[in-house]
């Protein structure tokens, strides 16, 4: 079972962003490869700390983790990924300017490079959010060149030692200073630090080893997904360089508004128009839900602003799949443009009505109070 992120960083659950960052910085320095040359677990321990920091430093991910734990991150598309040295180098460089990490876990400039991530947006309806769905999307990622199989050389031609760096992958420049000679190293601009080049670059990909391709992906939209949440498709992004792994695809969910419903977390609110005669006499009417129309019984004397709850007709939790409720707000319609006969009938009713017909229930909440109460306010 994964360790608790707060335990990994040694901070309380209510720690501020500054405390989280300070704790990770201290821990990262302790795990620096220059002081852990004989500790073979240093990389894994740093990955664990970096993963914890990635989640706790992001307010949205942290809120999901605090509420649902590791399972909530995975099901909601928030799962962190520190599978390769380039990701480690990125976060280490953010704090310490990249000092020393690449020398132990692989030179990012000359070794394999992970492919770029791809971000796309996907619109989903509220009905799809309730029941979950699968959608197909088309992408144009960089894929391994099929002509050269990713090595950048024209088929049948050799890959030779780079003449510019003599196979070292590095270029050195020596300059004199008042303190002596200063030797500066940089990645070879011809071979990209690999030390080898194609004698004849592949004509399909211009020696890059990658080309633009077409890919169709199936995206599993989990029931209960929130607007703005991400779904990660691991290893489906751009192909890496020099044998590096593929990046990921991040799908940002855009939940479309439904004119019939307002969403409040797992609960939904809808409005139902009812003629004042039906509200007074009582009736059974059909109300829309995301599962189809449902028959709703209104008692005689139903008042404007009455909220009727239909349990289990809301939005499911992304973690437990338990559905919220649908709250139906009754809007009593008052007739207009009355005919003479209708006016006469209403006048006769008004004359026959007494105080008992309009008794207000003791302690009855107002309209907005009932709505707040329905949503736990």
pLDDT tens-place string over residues 212-248: 999 999 999 999 998 988 999 999 999 988 778 899 9
pLDDT given at position 104: 38
> pLDDT: is 44 or 137 the higher one?
137
Q: Does the pLDDT at position 366 exceed 80?
A: no
- List of residues 6+ apart from 223 with CB closer than 8 A: 129, 130, 131, 132, 316, 318, 321
Task: Compute the average pLDDT of residues 84-100.
Answer: 49
**Where in the chain does DSSP place strands (E)?**
118-124, 133-139, 142-144, 159-161, 170-177, 180-187, 196-198, 210-212, 215-221, 230-233, 249-255, 262-264, 267-275, 283-287, 294-298, 307-310, 326-333
pLDDT given at position 99: 42
Which tokens in the block code for residue 151?
């090595």
pLDDT given at position 75: 65
**Which residue from 370, 290, 288, 297 is spatially nearest to 323, judged by alpha carbons?**
290
Which tokens in the block code for residue 179?
């303190």
Task: Compute the average pLDDT of residues 112-140.
Answer: 90
Q: Does the pLDDT at position 334 exceed 50?
A: yes
pLDDT given at position 149: 86
pLDDT given at position 70: 81
- Cα dihedral 44, 232, 20, 14 sign: negative
> pLDDT: is 279 or 74 the higher one?
279
* Residue that is written with structure tokens 């960083």 in the block: 9
pLDDT given at position 180: 57
pLDDT given at position 58: 85
pLDDT given at position 105: 41
- List of residues 6+ apart from 88 with CB closer than 8 A: 43, 46, 47, 50, 82, 101, 105
> pLDDT: is 161 or 1 the higher one?
161
Q: Does the pLDDT at position 174 exceed 80?
A: no
Strand partners, 311: none
**Confidence label for 86 from pLDDT (cuts 50, 70 and 90):** very low
Domains of the chain: 1-111 (1.10.287.110), 262-374 (2.60.260.20)
Q: Does the pLDDT at position 68 exceed 90?
A: no
pLDDT given at position 108: 42
Q: Does the pLDDT at position 102 exceed 60?
A: no
> pLDDT: is 26 or 38 the higher one?
26
CB atoms within 10 A of CB 128: 19
Query: Is 115 in a helix, a strand, or coil?
Result: coil
Q: Does the pLDDT at position 88 exceed 80?
A: no
> pLDDT: is 93 or 132 the higher one?
132
pLDDT tens-place string over residues 342-358: 999 999 999 998 877 87
How far apart are alpha carbons 321 and 223 in whole angstroms? 7
pLDDT tens-place string over residues 265-316: 899 999 999 999 999 999 999 999 999 999 999 999 999 999 999 999 999 9
Which tokens in the block code for residue 97?
């300017």
**How many angstroms separate the first and last alpha carbons of the chain?**
36
Task: Compute the average pLDDT of residues 148-168.
Answer: 88
**Confidence label for 84 from pLDDT (cuts 50, 70 and 90):** very low
Percent above pLDDT 90 for the chain = 40
Which of these ranges, 25-39, 136-150, 319-333, has the smallest mean pLDDT? 25-39
- Cα dihedral 140, 141, 145, 149 sign: negative
* Residue that is written with structure tokens 């196979």 in the block: 167
């Amino acid at each position: 079972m994964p360790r608790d992120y707060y335990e990994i960083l040694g901070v309380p659950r209510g720690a501020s962003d500054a405390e989280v960052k300070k704790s990770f910085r201290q821990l990262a320095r302790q795990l620096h490869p220059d002081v852990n040359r004989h500790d073979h677990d240093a990389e894994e321990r740093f990955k664990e700390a970096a993963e914890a920091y990635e989640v706790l430093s992001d307010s949205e991910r942290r809120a999901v983790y605090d509420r649902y734990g590791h399972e909530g991150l995975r099901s909601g598309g928030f799962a962190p990924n520190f599978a390769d040295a380039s990701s480690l180098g990125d976060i280490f460089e953010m704090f310490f300017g990249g000092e020393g990490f690449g020398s132990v876990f692989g030179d990012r400039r000359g070794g394999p490079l992970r492919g770029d991530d791809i971000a796309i947006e996907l619109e989903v309806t509220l009905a799809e959010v309730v029941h979950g769905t699968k959608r197909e999307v088309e992408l144009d990622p960089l894929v391994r060149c099929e002509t050269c199989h990713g090595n950048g050389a024209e088929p049948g031609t050799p890959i030779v030692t780079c003449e510019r760096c003599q196979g070292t992958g590095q270029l050195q420049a020596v300059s004199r200073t008042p303190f002596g000679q200063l030797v500066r190293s940089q990645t070879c601009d011809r071979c990209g630090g690999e030390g080898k080049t194609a004698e004849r670059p592949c004509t399909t990909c211009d020696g890059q080893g990658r080309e633009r391709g077409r890919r169709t992906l199936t995206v599993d939209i989990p029931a209960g997904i929130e607007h703005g949440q991400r779904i990660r498709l691991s290893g489906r992004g751009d192909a890496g360089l020099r044998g590096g792994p593929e990046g990921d695809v991040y799908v940002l969910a855009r939940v479309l508004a439904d004119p019939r419903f307002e969403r409040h977390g797992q609960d939904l609110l809808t409005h139902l128009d009812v003629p004042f005669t039906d509200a007074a006499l009582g009736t059974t009417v059909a109300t829309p839900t995301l599962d189809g129309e449902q028959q709703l019984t209104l008692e005689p004397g139903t008042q404007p602003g009455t909220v009727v709850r239909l349990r289990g007709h809301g939005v499911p939790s992304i973690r437990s799949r338990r559905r919220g409720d649908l709250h139906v707000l009754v809007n009593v319609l008052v007739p207009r443009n009355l005919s003479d006969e209708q006016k006469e009938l209403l006048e006769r009713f008004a004359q026959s009505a007494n105080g008992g017909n309009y008794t207000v229930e003791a302690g009855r909440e107002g309209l907005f109070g009932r709505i707040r109460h329905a949503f736990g306010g």
